[in-house]
Amino acid sequence: MISKAGYRELIRDLKYLKISAVFFLILGFVLVLGLNLSADEGMYPLSEIPRLDLQSKGLKIDPALIYDPARRSLLYAVVQMGATGSFISEDGLIITNHHVAFGAVQAVSTPDKDYLKNGFLARTRAEEIPAPGRTARITESFRDVSAEVLGVIKKGMSSAERAKAVEKQIKKIVAEAEKANPGKRAEVAEMFPGKSYWLFLYTDLKDIRLVYVPPLAVGNFGGEEDNWMWPRHTGDFTLLRAYVAPDGSPAEYSEKNVPFKPRTYLKVNPEGVKTGDFVFLLGYPGRTYRHLPASYLAFEQNVRMPAVADWYEWQIKLMEKMGKESREVALKHDVRIKGLANTMKNYRGKLAGLKKLNFLELKREEEKKLQRFILSDPRRQEIYGRVLPEMEKIYARMAEEFPRSFILDNLRRSVLTFQNALMVVDAVHERQKPDLERRSAYMDRNFQQAKKRITLTMKSSFYLPTDMAIFKELLKKAAALPDDQKIEPLSQFPGLEGKMEEAVERLFKSTRMSEAKYVLELMDKKPEEIKQLDDPMLKLAWSLYPEYQRMEEINRARKGLLDELQAKLVEVRQAFLGKQFIPDANGTLRLTYGRVEGYSPKDAVFYLPFTSLKGIEEKSIGQPPFDTPAGILDLIRQKKYGQLVNPELKNVSVCFLYSTDTTGGNSGSPVLNARGELVGVNFDRVWEATINDYTWSQDFSRSIGVDIRYVLWIMKEFAGAKHLLKEMGIE
């Protein structure tokens, strides 16, 4: 056991990182000792709601009102739109985060009509602007299809054959579900890899429009400096509206479309919440990794996350430099920078916490005990004895191959012209196969959407000098690879040994892969037609295509083997720890609950759970990222609070903390009170909770939401959007 003096010493060591030593020590001891966490931990699938006994925790409504297909459940008010949003009126008004809608706002902004910087308000429905690329997905139903999925696995199959069979079966189940439910979208989600699969049925609303966007100085107040931090004063919200065809069916944008009438929508409670109140969230959290082995954590900590964080930081600096002299260029980069910076800072926080705690070693210690448990019984040893050693080998091999795969992955992710060229080569090969054998993006059900993304990306985010600079940097990295990892087509690139600048310039000036219309035309052609084209970027993509095919086959085989091993690992860990697990988050609808409460990040420091308008005034310095609009500062100084005062503060609340279990994808999730009323919009976690993806603590895991009182205050006092408040039932 560590002494109190030891705790204090470790706290001092971590002080400069703003990370709570006690937090990480508690998490580490949980892993080592296998202790049960608080019941508040968990991003619970809908099937788990009946067993949670939420009313004993503080819920004041029938839990069936959260999800019951036969009733107007709260579930139907929550939508997936990249992250999460929720309906707040009978006419399809949606509230989500400013950063969730950021890309759509950027896409319709110009230097003359800079909605990103200055904000936007539609005073009539006719003024609402289509939000490019946005959809709103409603979960309609779900069912367990594990037996159907796993039933195709036959004894003697190789790992690759297993993965391919499961993949094809999932596509078959999806196709049958969509045929039986015209107009709906179906997806099969992997709940426990190799063990449990659910079929979800969705309604996808395709006509989404901007209604109100606060200025950047409100919606992104504090910028990256405040990101993941507390106290926070960010008005991270935006309003949109969903439209459908006159007959109520989902439809692409049309002037004839009408506002969507949701089955249910959330009541907005202008009284907000107070310290200690029960709250819960519904949302679509992306990915967590709590059931994966120490070997995976080692790969993440020592290999992947540091490389990605460094690479993203390099791109951010490049794009910021490119956009310094031109708002038009800066607009092209804004969305990319925001996404890169968010991930980079998240990874830096995770790495700092994992390393300072020695979290990986604590995880390994738990697995040593687990392995002894396995070996103590002949039957367990026979079934599970090789699970951890085999997983160790796989992740070690991935680490060895990472420098090479990193370049290939980022070539197709970061260089937009090459991305387009590879998609053309991919498409013309995949589209020759039967539909169920194609990769997902090239199946008939997804192909048009993939094409739309190309058009939107090239229009809103492409800037030639940036594309060239990123390509050159990746070429340099490719040249530095050891001989046994060389990527032949890149090693032979003209000018690699000398005049790279001229060679790259010739390549980009000669290619047409930046022309979205031309790219889309090529995607419908045959392979032999593409092979004859004299486009240098297309030729490069063609020459690298076998490399990507090999990567895909290797990854498929690994997934097949890892799924089998991971299923066994979950089984034996549950037996070892004597408890059942809930699946890691995977982008499907989940519930999490907790209370409004602050926390102590370090010795003698306690963070209160609310911030106020006073904090905005204190932080404002007249320049980004703390450049509050003068009109808001005037209102604060006049103490024009209206009826939206938080009695605890004698001021208007801006943001608040609560002990729910969240991760990426929960952005925009409605924060609901005990009566299921909207009291806030989730948008972030505190710095200490960046490690949430791996584990969770009642004492230190806190999520951050914008208080509904601040949302209403901005709309009423600053934006003059009283017509929207009336629509929301706020007079």
CA–CA dist 367, 8 (Å, integer): 28
Which residues, 6+ apart, have CB-to-CB distance to 215 below 8 Å? 117, 118, 119, 629
DSSP 565: H
CA–CA dist 705, 682 (Å, integer): 4
Of 429, 648, 441, residue with least CA distance to 525: 429
| Helical pair 21-33 and 359-375, crossing angle rounded to 10 deg | 10
Cα 325 to chain centroid distance, Å, stands at: 31
- Across the strands, what pairs with 202? 139, 185
Place of tokens 């808001």: 632
Q: How many residues does the chain have?
A: 731
- Across the strands, what pairs with 207? 243
The pLDDT value given to residue 498: 59
| DSSP class per residue in 369-380 | HHHHHHHTSHHH
CB atoms inside a 10 Å sphere around CB 657:
26
Helix H or strand E encompassing 622: none
CB 199 within 8 A of CB 178: no
Predicted TM-score of the model (pTM): 0.91
Dihedral pair phi/psi, residue 137, rounded to 5°: -110, 125
CA–CA dist 355, 334 (Å, integer): 31
The CA-based angle 513-516-518, given to 5 degrees, is: 70
321-339 per-position pLDDT tens digit = 999 989 999 999 999 999 9
CA–CA dist 594, 672 (Å, integer): 11
CA–CA dist 477, 256 (Å, integer): 52
User: Rounded mean pLDDT of the chain?
Assistant: 92
CA–CA dist 411, 451 (Å, integer): 19
CB atoms inside a 10 Å sphere around CB 150:
18
Q: Is residue 465 classed as helix, strand or coil in its secondary structure?
A: helix
Of 213, 96, 90, 117, residue with least CA distance to 721: 213
Of 138, 135, 165, residue with least CA distance to 151: 165
SS (H, E, C) 23-61: HHHHHHHHHHHCCCCCCCCCCEEHHHHHHCCHHHHCCCC
CA–CA dist 343, 353 (Å, integer): 15
Of 152, 283, 405, residue with least CA distance to 703: 283
Q: Is residue 244 classed as helix, strand or coil in its secondary structure?
A: strand
CB 536 within 8 A of CB 507: yes
Of 215, 269, 217, 272, residue with least CA distance to 238: 215
- Across the strands, what pairs with 79? 85, 138
The pLDDT value given to residue 698: 85
CB 178 within 8 A of CB 186: yes
CA–CA dist 700, 659 (Å, integer): 8
CA–CA dist 154, 152 (Å, integer): 6
Q: Is residue 621 classed as helix, strand or coil in its secondary structure?
A: coil
CA–CA dist 382, 371 (Å, integer): 12
CA–CA dist 440, 225 (Å, integer): 38
The pLDDT value given to residue 40: 57
CA–CA dist 299, 296 (Å, integer): 5
- Across the strands, what pairs with 703? 658, 685
The pLDDT value given to residue 5: 37
The pLDDT value given to residue 699: 84
CA–CA dist 427, 524 (Å, integer): 8
* Burial zone of 529 (CB within 10 Å; 0-12 exposed, 13-18 middle, 19+ buried): exposed
Which residues, 6+ apart, have CB-to-CB distance to 347 below 8 Å? 305, 306, 308, 309, 312
CB 657 within 8 A of CB 595: no
Q: Are strands 83-87 and 93-96 parallel, antiparallel or unpaired?
A: antiparallel
175-216 per-position pLDDT tens digit = 999 999 999 999 999 999 999 999 999 999 999 999 999 999
DSSP 409: H
CA–CA dist 116, 333 (Å, integer): 12
Low-confidence ranges of the chain (pLDDT < 70): 1-40, 494-498
